[in-house]
Amino acid sequence: MQNTYINRELSLLEFHKRVLAQAEDRDIPLLERVRFLCISCTNLDEFFEIRVSGLKQRMEIGAPAQGPENVPAQEIMDKLRVGISAMVERQYRLLNDELLPQLADAGVRFLSSSEWSKKQKSWLDKYFTEQVVPVLTPLTFDPARPFPRVLNKSLNFIVRLHGKDAFGRRRHRGMVQAPRSLPRVIQLPENISKSGEQTFVFLSSLIRVNVERLFPGLDVDGCYQFRVTRNSNLYVDDEEVSDLVHALEGQLAASRYGAAVRIEISHQCPNDLREFLLDHFNLTEDDAYMVDGPVNLNRMVTVCDIDGHPELLYPPFTPGLPSELSGGGSIFAILDKKNVLLHHPYQSFAPVIDFVGTAAADPDVLAIKQTLYRTGPDSPIVDHLVTAALSGKEVTVVIELMARFDEAANIALANRLQEAGAHVVYGLIGFKTHAKMTLVVRRKQGKLVRYMHLGTGNYHHGTASVYTDYGYLSSSRRLGEDVHQLFLQLTSLTQAKEMTRMLASPFSLFDALLEKIRRETEHAKSGKTARLIAKVNALNEPQLITALYEASQAGVQVDLILRGICSLRPGIKGVSENIRVRSIVGRFLEHSRVYYFLNDGKEEFYCSSADLMDRNMFRRNESCFEIRQKKMKDQIRHDLELFLADNLQAWQLNADGSYTRLVPGNDTPVSAQQTFLETLALPKLVQD
């Protein structure tokens, strides 16, 4: 019998392959293809740091098969290694055979050492002496000087040596560690580059060529770059920890030197040195990836935003504004009359920043409450919260410290807000606070009015320009009461009263979604037209998948728009024939979460911070809010149908877990993201 579930790790790897396919797409501007290549490498880094490291730990302790697919960890790992090896080969073949030659043709040239002119070599020699040598620490080994610790994902070189050192002892191996303070891509001055060209050199090439200067008196017989990826999972024992911040700070320091899970080595490295590295890091041949190029491809992303080549980039655009905001005026005066739905990045994130900024400056605002998961450095929203706290307003911020890879930034953010006088509440251990909510309490004509922003994405002004999300601004009394209840629950950990406009995890969201899926199933069984659509980042919750299978068997048309992980298998005869699953991968990262239920003509629309994953349903604090205004429901319905019509950036999931990219054929080409750009955003005015 065919397993009706797709393994989570294998499904996630399929997503990473779809991102790499963007880099291979010749219809995409050249520097954007380079950017997608870098993203695919960053994705693989995180995949090894979190998912592969978790699998290896399960294998080491002999853990039984997990998940509804019930596949042993070793079997999953074997399949992953085959897929990852093929993906890495694709990455470097694409870089060497297509991207670098085409960049050179376009006037963006990466020079190998054999291509350096006399002037360039002279400039690079000086650069190496003045900028690189002072921060390098070449090392050799002996029993008293063991192999140094290697930082996670750092650039390193293993060096073969001959001869005696200054103390008369023979040396066979050395090592050079490249500090992270050094740029991995070096741009050469215009006056030593060909006319009209921008010329770059990889730091790895510069160090390799000059490595003999780092070991005077010894003969260098080979220098080979390598990079180690380590387990970066953070483990905090909810029963033992007494100070979450202190525990996290210790974990962050330790994670930089976690157990090695992958090593990338230059394909020119001899077998004996490769075996030496594998033995030292306690890795096997299966954990080694021999690469034909720099081991840190993602550092090439710095080149993607160079000036002078607009034709190699996506056309710029100016985010638009919904009609409700286009006339200007106070955001509170607007929300007193109507609600506002924003569709980022096609529509500006500025109104969200303005909402918090106006609240911080308004003397009639008494309190601001906000959840923060990821904000990024130099966040204007955090600046406004600090201003509000310093001015004496009651500011309460629920900060999730366990936001993966943002833990250190969030600790610093929490300290800054506390110093300003804000009340800072950390997310509950074991239940990440992933909800996206802001609540403003303002005095208006002697009464207190609640204004709120609810979203599907983070309060990060940087990612708001590349992530697709919905944001909802309102002063609805009932919705405000629900948001107030959720904040009380997050700060006091008491039970919230029954809510009328919102659903929340880990309490009501799962049961409500399950009930709504089953309601569509009953409609279908009674002969009514039944349909549901979900647009989320991931789906792996077994009970929801089972309910969707039952809905399909009853005749419900199920459309799932899933960016990444999908553990459901569509198209299985007698099980999931009425389920279609597609993934949209394009210029922007699809991030919004939307649930639609036909409900016998009484349509229901919900936007949420939650994906359809077990962690979002049961181990996170999530918010989900209903959209009730006809105009907004029509907009979201139109958006969903546009995603389902996309045949330029859509991939269809097959029953075997693979994806097929859709092509227009004889149909009219449709790109949802491009359509949104054309209808919601403003054309960018290019200035001389």
CATH number at residue 465: 3.30.870.10
Q: Tell me the DSSP string of 533-595.
A: EEEES-B--HHHHHHHHHHHHHT-EEEEEESS-B-B-TT-TTTSTTEEEEEE-SSSEE--EEE
Catalytic residue among 434, 453, 523, 591: 434
My answer on whether 481 and 611 are in the same domain is no
**Residue 458: closest CA among 232, 672, 605, 623:** 623
* pLDDT band for position 238 (cuts 50, 70, 90): very low
Q: Calculate the average pLDDT of the chain.
A: 91
My answer on whether 444 and 541 are in the same domain is no
Residue 185 in contact with residue 236, Cβ under 8 Å? Answer: no
My answer on whether 468 and 593 are in the same domain is no
My answer on whether 302 and 347 are in the same domain is no
User: What gap in Å lies between CA 151 and CA 284, rounded to an integer?
Assistant: 19
343 is catalytic: no
My answer on whether 511 and 480 are in the same domain is no
Residue 266 in contact with residue 225, Cβ under 8 Å? Answer: yes
Of 3-7, 69-73, 158-162, where does mean pLDDT reach its minimum?
69-73
The one-character DSSP state at 670 is -
My answer on whether 474 and 516 are in the same domain is no
Residue 688 domain flag: no
Amino acid symbol at 18: R
**Residue 620: closest CA among 400, 456, 372, 406:** 400
My answer on whether 349 and 284 are in the same domain is no
My answer on whether 174 and 137 are in the same domain is yes
User: What gap in Å lies between CA 67 and CA 46, rounded to an integer?
Assistant: 21
Residue 115 domain flag: yes
Residue 396: enclosing H or E segment and its boundaries?
strand 394-399
Residue 186 domain flag: yes
Can you tell me the mean pLDDT for 264-286?
95
Packed helices 407-420 and 244-255: angle between N→C axes, nearest 10 degrees: 150
**Residue 595: closest CA among 523, 512, 652, 671:** 512
| Distance, first Cα to last Cα, the chain | 65
User: What gap in Å lies between CA 426 and CA 491, rounded to an integer?
Assistant: 9
* pLDDT at position 678 over 50: yes
Token pair in block for residue 397: 């911020």
Give the chain's domain count: 3
- pLDDT value of residue 611: 97
Residue 3 domain flag: no
- pLDDT value of residue 247: 42
Last residue of a domain, one of 282, 312, 342: 312
Amino acid symbol at 123: W
My answer on whether 279 and 177 are in the same domain is yes
User: What gap in Å lies between CA 95 and CA 102, rounded to an integer?
Assistant: 10
| 683 backbone dihedrals φ, ψ, rounded to 5° | -65, 140
* pLDDT band for position 684 (cuts 50, 70, 90): low
User: What gap in Å lies between CA 51 and CA 53, rounded to an integer?
Assistant: 5
- pLDDT value of residue 254: 47
- pLDDT value of residue 327: 81
- pLDDT value of residue 683: 64
Name which residue leads in pLDDT, 191 or 426.
191
Amino acid symbol at 493: L
My answer on whether 216 and 330 are in the same domain is no
CATH number for position 241: 3.30.1840.10
16-45 per-position pLDDT tens digit: 999 999 999 999 999 999 999 999 999 999
- pLDDT value of residue 685: 42
Residue 1 domain flag: no
Tokens 């041949």, residue? 285
Packed helices 73-94 and 53-61: angle between N→C axes, nearest 10 degrees: 150
Tokens 């330029």, residue? 648
- pLDDT value of residue 427: 73
User: What gap in Å lies between CA 71 and CA 658, rounded to an integer?
Assistant: 17
Measured in residues, the chain has a length of 688
Q: Which residues span the domain enclosing 210?
A: 8-312
* pLDDT band for position 244 (cuts 50, 70, 90): very low
* pLDDT band for position 494 (cuts 50, 70, 90): confident
Residue 539 domain flag: yes
- Residue 437 pairs in a beta bridge with 454
My answer on whether 273 and 376 are in the same domain is no
578-633 per-position pLDDT tens digit: 999 999 999 999 999 999 999 999 999 999 999 999 999 999 999 999 999 999 99
Token pair in block for residue 97: 């055979």
Last residue of a domain, one of 251, 281, 312: 312
Range 638-674 burial, b when 16+ CB lie within 10 A, else e: ebbebbbebbbbbbbbebebebeebeeeeeeebbbbe
Amino acid symbol at 233: N
Amino acid symbol at 670: V
Residue 199 in contact with residue 261, Cβ under 8 Å? Answer: no
Neighbours of 148 (CB within 10 A): 12
134-170 per-position pLDDT tens digit: 999 899 887 777 888 899 999 999 999 988 887 777 8
Residue 671 in contact with residue 586, Cβ under 8 Å? Answer: yes
Residue 636 domain flag: yes
Residue 2 domain flag: no
User: What gap in Å lies between CA 615 and CA 506, rounded to an integer?
Assistant: 9
Last residue of a domain, one of 256, 277, 312: 312
My answer on whether 174 and 254 are in the same domain is yes
Name which residue leads in pLDDT, 680 or 249.
680
